[in-house]
Amino acid sequence: MKKNSLLFILFFGLAFSNIFAQEWATAVKVSTLGGNVEVYRSFGDQFNAHVGFSYFTLDQDITGEEDYDATFSVGLMSISALGDYFPFESSGFRLTAGVFINLNQIDATLTPKDEYTVGGDVYTPDDLGTLDANISFNKIAPYIGLGFGNPTGGDSGLGFTFEIGTIYQGGSIVDLTATGLLEPSAAQDQEQKFEENLSWFKWYPVVSLGLTYKF
């Protein structure tokens, strides 16, 4: 009796492990959100759920014949919780929806580099100061997209995935700070003007492609 029970438990454990392994996959992607890693779990033949993390940074200094030097820093970081629906099981075509924790932001610093003479008074770059701008977005951002490829479908091994979609990040949130004579440029009404000029940027396009691996 004990031997039969032991065999039953062993058989059940192996069977459960096999089923469990076939329902999971991972993906490594390159997208307009940066480098991306995701973990997938299937729920039947037509539904997947997956969570992911995306990251990318870019720093750029702009110098030249302008009256100022500029430094820009783009930081993309987001966490996603998404679901896939496959209306046609064998095609790999899918509809995807969910939500992002959107930590994307842009920082810029403007630094005057020339002296100015006004009414006989000379103002150095130190007198003028600097102007800093931080642009961020709604932290909770819904997503919708469509793509091809089912990371949890088919046999174990490598696969391919492609997707296009958009994140609704809402209006831009602009925070200005300044020093010296440029300090009035950081007033609240100036922040509002910046936000109005960026009102077109409520939707962030997402294009991604990558490799998947089914366990």
Q: Is residue 192 part of a domain?
A: yes
Q: Supply the mean pLDDT for the chain.
A: 88
State the average pLDDT over residues 3-29: 57
Q: What is the pLDDT of residue 22?
A: 52
> Using one digit for the tens of pLDDT, what is the confidence trace for 202-213?
999 999 999 999
If you write DSSP's letter for every residue of 10-47 in order, what string do you get?
A: HHHHHHHHHHHHHTEEEEEEEETTEEEEEEEEE-SSSE
With beta carbons less than 8 A apart as the criterion, state whether 146 and 95 touch: yes
End-to-end Cα separation, the chain, in angstroms: 35
Question: Can you give the CATH number for the domain in which 157 is found?
Answer: 2.40.160.170
Q: Is residue 4 part of a domain?
A: no
In the predicted model, is pLDDT for residue 179 greater than 50?
A: yes
> Using one digit for the tens of pLDDT, what is the confidence trace for 25-60?
999 999 999 999 999 999 988 999 999 999 999 999
Q: Is residue 112 part of a domain?
A: yes
State the average pLDDT over residues 96-110: 97
Q: Which domain holds residue 34?
A: 20-214
In the predicted model, is pLDDT for residue 98 greater than 60?
A: yes
Q: Is residue 82 part of a domain?
A: yes
Sign of CA dihedral 148, 145, 163, 155: negative
Q: What is the pLDDT of residue 89?
A: 73
Q: Is residue 11 part of a domain?
A: no
3-class SS of residue 139: coil
Q: Is residue 96 part of a domain?
A: yes
State the average pLDDT over residues 55-71: 87
- DSSP category for residue 152: T
Q: What is the pLDDT of residue 5?
A: 45
If you write DSSP's letter for every residue of 75-127 in order, what string do you get?
A: EEEEEEEEEEE-SSTTT-EEEEEEEEEE--EEEEEEEE-S-EEETTEEE-HHH
Count structural domains, the chain. 1
d(CA 35, CA 57): 10
Rounded to the nearest angstrom, the gap between the alpha carbon of residue 143 and the centroid of all alpha carbons in its chain is 11
> Using one digit for the tens of pLDDT, what is the confidence trace for 127-175?
999 999 999 999 999 999 999 999 998 889 999 999 999 999 999 999 9
Q: Is residue 10 part of a domain?
A: no
State the average pLDDT over residues 99-124: 90
Query: Cβ neighbours of residue 174 under 8 Å, at least 6 residues apart?
Result: 133, 134, 135, 191, 194, 195, 198
Q: Is residue 8 part of a domain?
A: no
In the predicted model, is pLDDT for residue 18 greater than 60?
A: no
Q: What is the pLDDT of residue 14?
A: 40
d(CA 37, CA 138): 22
More confident residue, 4 or 47: 47
Q: Which residues, in sequence order, are bridge partners of residue 209?
A: 30, 162
Q: What is the pLDDT of residue 23?
A: 87
